[in-house]
Structure 1
Amino acid sequence: MHAFKFRAIILVAIAFILGCNEFIIVGILNDVGHQFNVPVASVGYLVTVFALVYAISTPFITLFVGRYSYFKSLMVLMVIFILSNTFSGLASSFFWLTVSRILTALVAGVIISLTITIANQIAPLDKRPWLIAWVFSGFSIASVFGVPIGTWISTTFTWRDSFWAITIVSLLTLALAYFSLPHKMSQETGNLRDQLALLKDHRIQVAITLPFFGSGGIYVFYTYLRPTLTTLLHFSTQSLSLLLFIYGLTAIVSNQLSGQIAQHGSLKLMPKVYAIEAILLFILPLVTGLQWVALAVVFCLGITMYLLNSPIQLHFLMVAEQDYPQSIVLASSLNSIFFNFGISLGSATGALVVTHLGLNWIGWGGAVYIAVAMVLVIWLNRLNARKPIKVTSHESL
């Protein structure tokens, strides 16, 4: 059990460094723009480019590495990640910084897919939801603690030092992973057609729409969280850091509750979750005149933000284990792929709503997508009832 807990910490640490690398740009926008004489808005496009490359490339690279040892694939990809992150710190121009971010995005999605796959394999059956929830929490912990620390490093020293710090932590994590994770792990071999067979299953086809519309709905609101707090709710800019920090804590709580949902009811509870989330988004525009009531609604939305993560991740993995064992790694990647596509949908929808209707309407715009997700999860539960998934356990590794 001690070995399992240590391995669990390593897997969460991998998610943490991936989160730090992905989110760090948000904290160093001004410093990068100043050094390269590039508008802050242009630096902001690095976030968009990263998310799109991440979402588009992950399934293709996942299909390739899925034929090889999980351990060796993880080690190779983490070395590429470390080199790409170091390249970001060395970038001599904005162009080369963009190239380094693209290289990092190419491997980041596959690394988290392998991390979740390994978590699913090493965890005892009753610990799977707990460990997967913690792996996802690694990203939330990065946004709450890692990014502010990286931002402090950037403002105190240079933005390049933020990347050096990530490299140092990544090297330590790589060494610990090499000596602690089991080396003999792989899925049943299969060609490209065999692996893609997973996507023909109706339970998978409906399931991938949930992170798409679910994250799309919340990101209509979340993309404009800062102006919501300052412009709509009239909180001071001095209090903004504290409010964002508290919201980050609600995101960690959300991931942990996600593990509990996966353990006690799983997807069967998600229609109620989506109903609550849709109601919160719907009433937000109605209570903006009541500052503290509206703030409570905002924090409640933070708690609902990641509740789907563990239930849908376990659904993908269990369907693959039972009927498509050659597609385990691909199954592990589906949630993060479509979550990132959902981010693009939500942020683009939010921009349209704010431009044509106004900031106060973003709650209703997000509620529409959440309502769609609620209908889809009811459909998915009916499909699962027709063809129940048999949960299997792994031998101790």
Structure 2
Amino acid sequence: MKLSLLPLALGGLTIGITEFVMMGLLPDIARDLDISIPTAGHLISAYALGVVIGAPILVIAGRNFPPKKMLFAMALMLTIFNALSIIAPGYNLLFASRFLSGLPHGAFFGVGAVVASRLATKGKEAQSIAIMFSGLTIANVVGVPIGTYIGHNFDWRYTFVLITAIGLITLIALLLWMPNLESNKVDSVKEQLKFFGRIDSWLIIAIVAIGTGGLFCWISYISPLLTDISHFSQEDVPYILILAGVGMVVGNFLGGHLADRFSPATTVLALLIIMATNLLAVYFFSGNQITSLVLVFVTGSLSFAVVAPVQMLMIQAAKGAEMIASASLQAGFNMGNALGAFLGGLPLVMGYNYASPNLVGVGMALIGAFIVVVIISRNRKLAAVKTA
């Protein structure tokens, strides 16, 4: 691995822990702040909404700045706003800090993907981008379980101390090892925004926001699912999250392989149908501990298997707006995060058990699959018109 790619991987690690550790900390935060778990789930939505709002705005605002300065600014924002969570005295400030820490998420990955491709050896651009996103998978294998363990056994605020420390290391790595690349002179804001005038762009964002939202129905409430339905102890949760993280690593490689071998649309359609089936199995069979562990691994795998094929779909739709397209993809994933956490929490508010969010997830995954069918149909019609 080129040393210049390490800061991007560290940034991915920081973002990965920031985004996903909250799922495992919900009971601890709810207990400490004297709020319900569904209310604590809104902290997940706050971060996701920050990503959705920040991704296009920050990418467009910084489009003419050198990449190193842009990446440093995004990492600095992430570090400062995570530090704010350490001292948040109550729910409202913690909600605000989560929203603010989400703002640089999409922009960091949007700029980082372009930078990774520019730093890559010719013909290995995709591998370099994968190195950046490997930080997310490492976060789920190592960072999130450690952060969850710290939150359960000491104090959830110490988890944000850990995230802030990794953020500081990322800043140092950017200063030391990120080369001073020249900024790409991109088109005007008007030209960039034409990306959002394409129907396929919105359809792909909808696939991510709704389809992958089904997975966030699962992971947002995974801690109480494991303790209340599968009857694992709270101390077991960090170790089970490692299993989910390993599944995400496997799924990341699997998704890349499938995206290279089959068409992106067909791959996404198949994965979303499998996802719906899997979430249905989570609802019915999580009461058995062995089955529950298998489902944790499989669901974790599916959560990242869909990433590479969807990215390929978005790249095909971008046509000259790759940076804002990449950032928008991250916004779409976090719209799914917000929708999954919110909609998945509704049956809990109505008194249903902690397996019930997965039924909401089944519906969201199937809606995502339907949107893929629409895209496939559109592409076939366009191809028929061109050949006519």
TM-score category of the 2 structures, normalised to the smaller one: 0.7 to 0.9
Please state if 1:130 is matched with 2:130.
Answer: no
Instruction: Tell me the distance in 1 between the aligned counterparts of 2:343 and 2:73.
Output: 37
TM-score (norm 2): 0.82
User: What fraction of aligned residue pairs are identical, expressed as a percent?
Assistant: 26
State the partner residue of 2:77.
Answer: 80
For residues 113 and 255 of structure 2, the distance between their equivalents in structure 1, rounded to whole angstroms, comes to 15
1:306 counterpart SS class: helix
Establish whether residue 369 from structure 1 lines up as the match of residue 367 from structure 2. Answer: no
Query: Partner of 1:315 in structure 2?
Result: 313
Moved more, 303-312 or 138-147: 138-147
CA contact (8 A) 1:30 1:40 kept: no
Q: AA paired with 2:267?
A: L
Matches within 5 A, 1:1-397: 5-25=2-22, 38-41=33-36, 45-89=42-86, 97-124=94-121, 126-150=123-147, 162-265=159-262, 267=264, 268-288=266-286, 291-320=289-318, 323=319, 325=320, 327-354=321-348, 355=350, 358-383=353-378
- Once the two structures are TM-superposed, the CA of residue 302 in structure 1 deviates from its matched residue by 1.8
The RMSD of aligned alpha carbons is 3.3
Letter in 2 for 1:376: I
Structure 2 unaligned segments of length 5 or more: list them. 384-388
Q: Distance in 2 between matches of 1:296 and 1:58?
A: 35
Report the Cα distance in structure 1 between the residues aligned to 2:185 and 2:125, rounded to whole angstroms.
21
1:392 maps to none
Unaligned runs of 5+ in 1: 389-397
SS for the counterpart of 2:274 is helix
Is the 8 Å Cα contact of residues 132 and 310 (structure 1) preserved in structure 2? no
Work out the CA distance in 1 between the residues paired with 2:355 and 2:283.
5
Letter in 1 for 2:345: A
On the 8 A contact 1:203/1:384 being kept in 2, the answer is no
TM-score by length of 1: 0.80
Structure 2 CA distance for aligned equivalents of residues 139 and 17 of structure 1: 8
Check the 8 A contact 1:129/1:263 in 2, yes or no.
no
Asked whether the 8 Å contact 1:136–1:255 carries over to 2, the reply is: no
Instruction: Tell me how far 1:185 sits from its aligned partner.
Output: 4.1
1:201-249 C-alpha deviation (Å, 9 max, x unpaired) = 2331221111112221222233332333333334444533332321222
In 1, the alpha carbon distance for the partners of 2:281 and 2:151 equals 39
Whole-angstrom distance in 2 between the partners of 1:169 and 1:224:
26
d(CA) in 1 for partners of 2:26, 2:294: 29
d(CA) in 1 for partners of 2:269, 2:111: 29
Report if aligned partners of 2:60, 2:189 keep a CA contact under 8 Å in 1: yes
Tell me, in whole angstroms, the C-alpha distance in 2 between the residues paired with 1:238 and 1:32: 16
